[in-house]
Structure 1
Amino acid sequence: MRAEHRRQRWAAYATCVLTGAYGLMKLAHALGSDVLVDKEPMRPDLRVQMLARDGWFVASYWIMAAVAIAGVLLALATVQPWGRRLPRRLLLGLTGGIGALMVLRSVGPVGFGFLGDALVLTGLRPPPAEHAELARHLARWDLMLWSPFFLAWGALWIATARQFARRTRTSRIDT
């Protein structure tokens, strides 16, 4: 039985690892690091503010680091005894919803993501001429790094939700 429980928890712990990594990166940005900051896909006007360390961007890094901590706690709540105090539907809705949004972001039906990046890189959706080279540069980074990261992260959130649903459905039947 114990080995079965361990197999049903891998996604939650892997989700914690990716969520923690993302949160640490945002914390590093809040503290002044510029690691991968210039590779974040965004509009050119926002990019200028971000690279100038505008107060709103620094605040957003702190907020995202805090959200990542909450995300780690949310994923842990699906596998820890203290998580049983939280409503099952709330945990399922949050974990599945976060996963779906991340997968949607990685596919990119609007903006960045696999589809949006491919459209920019193939010229089917050309960016404004004055930002064309920057747009292609960011699309390549998004295609190689951010979209796969968000796809894997979203898939882990969905797997966490599925394993939690399966585990709690089984334990409800057993009692």
Structure 2
Amino acid sequence: MRPASNGALPLRRGRWPGYAVAAWGVLFAIPSFHWAMGGTFGAQSTVAPELIKLADDRVAWFLAVLWVTGFLKLFGGLVGIGLTRRRGKWTGRLMVFCGGGATVLLVWHGCLFVAHGVLVETGARAVAPDLAGLTRWYLYLWGPWFIAGGLAFAAAATRYVRRHDDRRELRLYGSVGALGALLLSLASMVTGIG
């Protein structure tokens, strides 16, 4: 393989994690947009009833949240695409920063779903009987889906960093994004927001 003009190897092999992130983001955005537009297909049995009620009642702030999360998921898909090819210095830093943050947010969130589901399934934690089926959806679908997205971000960001000369600097940006996401998640948990 010939070196690029700056002496680094071109980013050609290993693009699949970035494309996996893009597909994951687009697929995950579809339900957000569908529910924001008033549809509830797939939500009745897989999402918490209080969220369904907010969507059915067309609560403005909740609809705004659905639209924003849908666009954030699409943005995540664009970050995945951004991690498939060599970018300018600042764009590359931003991609790795976002990739590191998305990795932590998604894996953390997914692990919380899975851990809660395991605790309910083993009887260590009780939920209302009408929510037991919903807990299984979070255990077997949503938790693993979040984790898979986080791992795809991790793979895409790692492959991007490995193919650049300024690896140390890029790792720093990825670490700062990951640490920021972890602090945001912990603050959200402590305050009960989110």
Please indicate the TM-score interval, normalised by the length of the shorter structure: 0.7 to 0.9
Q: Measure the CA separation in 2 of the matches of 1:85 and 1:170.
A: 9
| Structure with the higher helix share, 1 or 2 | 1
Q: Which of residues 28, 40, 44 is equivalent to 1:38?
A: 44
Answering whether residue 97 of structure 2 is matched by residue 93 of structure 1, we say yes
Partner of 1:123: 123
Alignment length, in residue pairs?
161
Q: Measure the CA separation in 1 of the matches of 2:53 and 2:68.
A: 20
> Residues 99-128 of structure 1: CA distance to partner in whole angstroms, max 9, x if unpaired?
1211111111xxxx111111122221113x
Q: Measure the CA separation in 1 of the matches of 2:84 and 2:50.
A: 42
Answering whether residue 58 of structure 2 is matched by residue 53 of structure 1, we say yes
Answering whether residue 67 of structure 2 is matched by residue 62 of structure 1, we say yes
Answering whether residue 172 of structure 2 is matched by residue 169 of structure 1, we say no
Give RMSD over aligned pairs: 2.5
Q: 1:16–1:71: 8 Å Cα contact kept in structure 2?
A: yes
Give the match's secondary structure for 1:86.
Answer: helix
Q: Measure the CA separation in 1 of the matches of 2:116 and 2:167.
A: 43
Alpha-carbon shift at residue 80 of structure 1 (Å): 3.7
Are residues 167 and 136 of structure 1, via their aligned partners in 2, closer, same or farther at CA, if it must alter by over 3 Å? same
Alpha-carbon shift at residue 22 of structure 1 (Å): 0.9
Partner of 1:10: 16
Alpha-carbon shift at residue 6 of structure 1 (Å): 4.0
Q: TM-score of the superposition, structure 1-length normalised?
A: 0.79
Q: Measure the CA separation in 1 of the matches of 2:41 and 2:133.
A: 16
Answering whether residue 35 of structure 2 is matched by residue 29 of structure 1, we say yes
Partner of 1:105: 109
Give the match's secondary structure for 1:32.
Answer: coil
Q: 1:102–1:150: 8 Å Cα contact kept in structure 2?
A: yes
Q: TM-score of the superposition, structure 2-length normalised?
A: 0.72
Alpha-carbon shift at residue 70 of structure 1 (Å): 1.6
Partner of 2:143: 147
Q: 1:12–1:156: 8 Å Cα contact kept in structure 2?
A: yes
Any unmatched runs of 5+ in structure 1? none
Q: Measure the CA separation in 2 of the matches of 1:133 and 1:56.
A: 29
Q: 2:38–2:55: 8 Å Cα contact kept in structure 1?
A: no
